């Protein structure tokens, strides 16, 4: 399974999954249809599935156009998003599995950003190789999504599920927010040498117009303040030693950043 990153809207990423052997493709969170159509034409392949993580328009905006051209496309999304995902045909629960080509993904229920948010984790085909996590707006490179429909406790639980994945897991998040996220991270975890180094690397990447996605779980655990609520530095910044309160206060600071 090849993962192809497509740019959309102002800062979104759509991920096209391509199985060369079977010559089929699937779109993860198609914000708009045109970038997907262009890549499908270039590959001379067809769309068989859409994997949505949540209902926000910048993740489902291309669903209907894609289905019009490929009417047999199966649309997967969380069961609790029923009625909010255009064309949804499969209603997924935590622990369900979905198939694409010869790869099987586990569905992880990660509420917080929205009440029904899910992520898709494709374990590696070969032991020791990296798996692939498609996490929508729950976990970002250097950050996490705003809490719109959930609670800080839900978000901590959801992020804890994701940080429990193997360190070499590739994190395919849906926005190019990394530089701004790391600028904020330095305000609450500025003595973190790994974070300082990552910020310099990301700044250089963005100055060259390069994408910063995918990240990895290991990198996020070392540098992302929203996975580090147990660290004394973050607790000091939040003036709390309670993990959920630490997370909530750091998230509030980011909202105002």
Active site residue 200: no
For residue 83, give the DSSP letter. Answer: T
Catalytic residue among 29, 59, 117, 132: 59
In the annotation, is 54 catalytic? yes
Catalytic residue (choose from 19, 58, 94, 96): 58
Is 59 assigned to a binding site?
yes
Does residue 97 have a known ligand-binding role? Answer: no
- Active-site option among 29, 81, 117, 175: 175
Please indicate whether residue 57 is annotated as part of the active site. no
Which residues lie below 8 Å from residue 126, measured CB to CB, with a gap of 6+? none
> Catalytic one among 29, 81, 132, 137?
137
* 55 carries a ligand binding annotation: no
Distance CA 102, CA 125 (A): 10
Beta bridge partners of residue 65, listed in sequence order = none
Catalytic residue among 113, 117, 132, 189: 113
Q: Is 113 a catalytic site residue? A: yes
Instruction: Tell me whether strands 132-136 and 170-173 are parallel, antiparallel or unpaired.
Output: parallel
- Active site (annotated) includes residue 97: no
Give kind and range of the element (H or E) at residue 212: none
User: Would you say 137 is a known binding-site residue?
Assistant: yes
Query: Residues 29, 55, 56, 81: which is the catalytic one?
Result: 56
Which parts are annotated binding residues for Zn(2+)? Answer: 54, 56, 58-59, 113, 137, 175
Which parts are annotated binding residues? Answer: 54, 56, 58-59, 113, 137, 175
Residues with a known catalytic role = 54, 56, 58-59, 113, 137, 175
């Amino acid at each position: 399974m090849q993962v192809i990153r497509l740019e959309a809207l102002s800062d979104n990423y759509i991920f096209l999954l391509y199985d060369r052997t079977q010559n089929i493709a699937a779109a993860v969170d198609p914000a708009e249809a045109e970038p997907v159509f262009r890549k499908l034409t270039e590959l001379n392949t067809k769309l068989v599935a859409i994997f949505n993580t949540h209902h926000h328009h910048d993740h489902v905006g291309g669903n209907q156009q894609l289905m019009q051209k490929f009417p047999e496309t199966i649309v997967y999304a969380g069961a609790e998003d029923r009625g909010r995902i255009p064309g949804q045909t499969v209603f997924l629960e935590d622990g369900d599995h979905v198939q694409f080509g010869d790869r099987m993904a586990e569905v992880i229920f990660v509420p917080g950003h929205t009440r029904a948010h899910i992520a898709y984790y494709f374990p590696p085909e070969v032991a020791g190789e990296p798996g692939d996590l498609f996490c929508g707006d729950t976990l970002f490179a250097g950050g996490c999504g705003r809490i719109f429909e959930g609670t800080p406790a839900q978000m901590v639980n959801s992020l804890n599920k994701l940080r429990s994945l193997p360190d070499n897991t590739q994190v395919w998040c849906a926005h190019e927010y990394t530089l701004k996220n790391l600028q904020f991270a330095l305000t609450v975890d500025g003595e973190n040498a790994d974070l300082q180094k990552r910020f310099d690397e990301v700044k250089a990447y963005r100055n060259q117009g390069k994408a910063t996605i995918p990240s990895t779980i290991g990198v996020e655990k070392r540098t992302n303040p929203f996975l580090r609520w147990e660290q004394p530095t973050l607790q000091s910044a939040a003036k709390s030693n309670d993990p959920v309160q630490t997370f909530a206060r750091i998230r509030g600071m980011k909202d105002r950043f």
